[in-house]
Amino acid sequence: MCGPGGQSAAAKKPYFGYDIGDFSGIQKAALRPMSNPLLQTDGLPAYDKITPEHVGPAVESITKEFETLLKQAEESTDWESLKKPMGKLDLLFEYGWSPIGHLLGVANSDELRDAHEAAIPQIIGMVLQLGQSKPLYERYCAFRDSDDWAGMPSAKKRIVEKAILSAQQSGIGLEGDDLERFNEIAEQLSQVGTEFSNNVLDATNAWHLDITDPADAEGFPDTYRRVAAGNFAAAQEEATEPDPEKGPWRVKLDGPSFTPFIQHCRNRALREQAYRAYVTRASGGEHDNTTLIDEILKLRKEQSQLLGYENFAENSLANKMAADTGEIQQMFDQLLGASLESGKRELEEVTRFANDNGHEGELAHWDVGFWAERLREHKYAYTEEELRPYFSLEPVLDGLFDLCTKLFGVTFKAADGEAPVWNQDVRFFHVLNEDNAQIASFYLDPYSRPENKRPGAWMADCVGRSFTSSESRLPVCHLVCNSTPPTKNQDGEIPSLMTFREVETLFHEFGHGLQHMLTTVDLRDVAGISGVEWDAVELPSQFMENWCYHRETLLGMAKHYQSGETLPDELFEKICKARTYRAASQMLRQLQFGMTDIELHSNFDPSGSESAFEVHERIAKQTSALPPLPENKFLCAFSHIFAGGYAAGYYSYKWAEVLSADAFAAFEDVGLDNSEAVAATGRKFRDTVLAQGGSRHPMEIYEEFRGRKPTVEALLRHSGLGAAS
C-alpha cells in the first residue's frame, strides 16, 4: 500500500480468495528440495531462486490441486472439514502466486511481467470459481443461520460474515449472461490494473534531466549531489565514477530524486521542466494511462451495478468502517472547513517571502516547493541537509526497536542470511516476546532502486499467523521503503542518510508491520491485517509517526554518523515547531485526492460529458489555494486508486489519521514523560489494536482501547489548525 502522496500502504487480501482487481498482495513460498520454488507450502520465499520461467508451470500445478481441494471444501459437513481444505487453498495462492506480485514491485523485469500477464487468466478463473461456489456460500450461510451462531466466537463470526459478503461481491448471486459478463470484467480489471501500474513505473523511468553546468547545481545539498551524480554514472554504458562536485547530475521522477530537486534547484526553468514532466507522467506516448482511467471506471461501475450496487463506492464501502459516502463527506467538510483559509494564508506567506527575496509576481507550481523550503529554513533556521547526518539507517532502526520495546515489550534480533532475499540490500529480523521467544519476523527493503522497484513505501504480509490442529505458522511481513541509498565520496562509502520524512515513513510502515506481527489471533483469515476494514488499517502506521516528535525517542536515535553526537536540543525544538509548517496545505492535498477518488467512484459518469480530469480540476479548485495546471494529468499516475487497493478508499488515510491522533492523545493524557504510564498504555494498545486484528469490528476494538469513540480534535490540534468548523 502506498501512503499519502505515494508513500505507503499495507497490502492485504479479503477472505474469499484474492482481490480480483489487484494481485499485488504478498504472501509466501518456501525452499524445499523441488525444482520449482513456487510449489512449496511452508517456510520462507525462495526469492533468490524464483525466475519468470517458474511462473507458468507453477500455475498449471496449482490449477490441478485447486480442483481437488475445492471439491473437498464443497463437500464439507462442519467447520473443521471446511477449514482444512480452505486453508490449503489459501496456501496455494500465498506460496505459488503472491511472491510474483511482490517481485513485480521490488525486482520488476519485462520477463516477469510477461509471465505474470500470461498467468492472470488462470488465476482469475480460480479466484472466481472459489468466490462463486454455491456449496461454499451455502455452508457459510448455514453457519450464520444455525442455533450455534449466538455462541460462536467473534473471530469465527467475522470469518463467516466476510466470506458471505465476499462471495456476494464475487458474483455468487449472478447467473447466465450477467455472470459471464461479471467474470469478463474481473479479468479485464486485473489486466488493466497491472498495465496501469507498469505504465507509471516505465514513464517514471523513461524521463530524466541531465545537468552539466555546475551553475545549475548550485544550491543542491551534498547528499543530493551524490545521489544525482550516481544516477548519471549508473546510466552510462561504460563504468563511470560519479563526481558529485563537477557532475554531470541526473534528475529523475522518483521521489528521492524529484522532491529534493524541486526544493533546491535555483534554476526556475529547470524546475518547471521537471514539474511538468512529473504531473504529466504516463499521460502520453507508449506509456499512456489516459484511456485506461475511463476503462477502469466504466468496468468498476458496470461490475458494481451487476451486483446491485448503485456505483463502485457503494460496493467498496460495504466492507469498510464508514457507513456511506455521506459519513465520509462529513469528515471531509470538517477538515476542509478547518484548513482551507489557513491553506490560503500559507500560500500568501510563501509568496510574500519569495517576493521579498527577488521573485517577481505570483508563484507557479514549480516555485512553491522551492520557496516554501527557503521559508522553512528561514523560520526554523535549519535545513533538511543539516538533519541528514543524524539519521543514518542503523541508529534509526535501533531507536525504533527501542521504542517498541518500551511500548509493547518486544525485542528484535538481526537474522541476515537466514532468509533468501531478492536484493543484497534486503535485511531480515526476528521479533521476540518478553520471554525471548520468537513470535514473528520481517524483511526490510530500505533503499530506492528506480530501475526496477516501484516508488512509494508499503508493508505487505508474507506469512500469516495461523495456529490450528494441523499447522503452526508465525507471522512474517515485508517492509518496503524507497529511502536515499548509501553513496560514495573520496573518503569511501557514506551510509544511507535519511531525510526526516524518510524516518517518518519507516515508522509508518513499521506500524503496519506491528499489527501484522503482534497479532494473537490464531485464525489466519482474521489475524494481523487480514480482515481489518480498509479504512482502519492505517491506524497503527499513522500512530507510530507521532513518536518521531517525542524527545526521548528522537534524540535516542538521532546520532551523527561520523561523530556520534546526539542531535542538539535546539534542532529538536525546531523540528517540533516545524511540524505544523504548512500543515493546512498538506491537509488540503490529501483532501483533494480523497474527494476526487470518492467523486470518481460515486457521482461521476464515465460516459458523460465531464472527463475524469475535469473532475479532478473542479475538486482541486475547491481544495487548493493554487489551482492545478490545465495540462495536469496527475490521475494518470494515481496508482493508489487505479492499480492498488484504495479505489473509493483513499479517504482512509484521513479517516485513520483521526483515529491515530486520538489514540496518541491517550499517551499524552497520561504524560509522555511518565514511562510507567506510557508503558501501560502501550501494552493496552498492543492488546487491543495490534493484537486483535480483524477478529472484531475495528470500532469495537478502538473503543476498548480508548474508552470512547474518536474525535477530530486531536488531529486538528496536532496539525495546529484549532477547532473544526
pLDDT tens per residue across span 442-481: 999 999 998 899 888 999 999 999 998 778 999 999 999 9
Cβ atoms of 274 and 251 within 8 Å: the answer is: yes
Position 384 scores a pLDDT of 84
Report residue 15's pLDDT band, with 50, 70 and 90 as the boundaries: very low
The verdict on residue 313 lying in a domain is no
The verdict on residue 630 lying in a domain is no
Q: Is 432 helix (H, G, I), strand (E, B) or coil?
A: strand
Render 151-180 in DSSP notation, one character per residue: GS-HHHHHHHHHHHHHHHHTTTT--HHHHH
Q: In this model, does residue 24 exceed pLDDT 70?
A: no
The verdict on residue 542 lying in a domain is no
Report residue 645's pLDDT band, with 50, 70 and 90 as the boundaries: confident
Q: What percent of the chain has pLDDT over 70?
A: 94
Q: In this model, does residue 32 exceed pLDDT 60?
A: no
Report residue 213's pLDDT band, with 50, 70 and 90 as the boundaries: very high
**Residue among 509, 545, 599, 657 flagged as catalytic:** 509
Position 34 scores a pLDDT of 53
Average pLDDT estimate for 207-221: 96
Average pLDDT estimate for 611-632: 95
Q: Do strands 10-11 and 458-463 pair parallel, antiparallel, or not at all (unpaired)?
A: parallel
Position 12 scores a pLDDT of 43
Q: Is 416 helix (H, G, I), strand (E, B) or coil?
A: coil
Range of lowest pLDDT (89-93, 154-158, 258-262): 89-93
Report residue 155's pLDDT band, with 50, 70 and 90 as the boundaries: very high
Report residue 664's pLDDT band, with 50, 70 and 90 as the boundaries: very high
**To 10 degrees, the CA torsion angle through 651, 656, 661, 664?**
-170
Looking at the DSSP bridge assignments, the partners of residue 210 are 250
Report residue 258's pLDDT band, with 50, 70 and 90 as the boundaries: very high
Report residue 490's pLDDT band, with 50, 70 and 90 as the boundaries: low
The verdict on residue 66 lying in a domain is yes
The verdict on residue 128 lying in a domain is yes
Per the rule left: phi > 0, alpha: psi between -120 and 50, beta: everything else, 72 is alpha
Average pLDDT estimate for 226-247: 90
The tally of domains found in the chain comes to 1
Q: In this model, does residue 694 exceed pLDDT 90?
A: yes
Q: In this model, does residue 500 exceed pLDDT 90?
A: yes
3-state DSSP percent of the chain in helix, strand and coil, to 5: 55, 10, 35
The verdict on residue 566 lying in a domain is no
Range of lowest pLDDT (7-21, 389-403, 563-577, 662-676): 7-21
Position 4 scores a pLDDT of 38
Q: In this model, does residue 116 exceed pLDDT 50?
A: yes
The verdict on residue 90 lying in a domain is yes
Instruction: Tally the residues of the chain.
Output: 725
CATH code at 168?
1.10.1370.40
- Mean pLDDT in the chain? 92
Question: Among candidates 148, 119, 115, 134, which has minimal Cα distance to 16?
Answer: 134
* Identity of residue 339: S
Cβ atoms of 503 and 614 within 8 Å: the answer is: no
**Residue in the block written with cell 507450502:** 41
Q: Is 509 a catalytic residue?
A: yes
The verdict on residue 391 lying in a domain is no
Q: What percent of the chain has pLDDT over 90?
A: 86
Average pLDDT estimate for 697-716: 95
For 133, the domain range is 13-183
Average pLDDT estimate for 677-703: 97
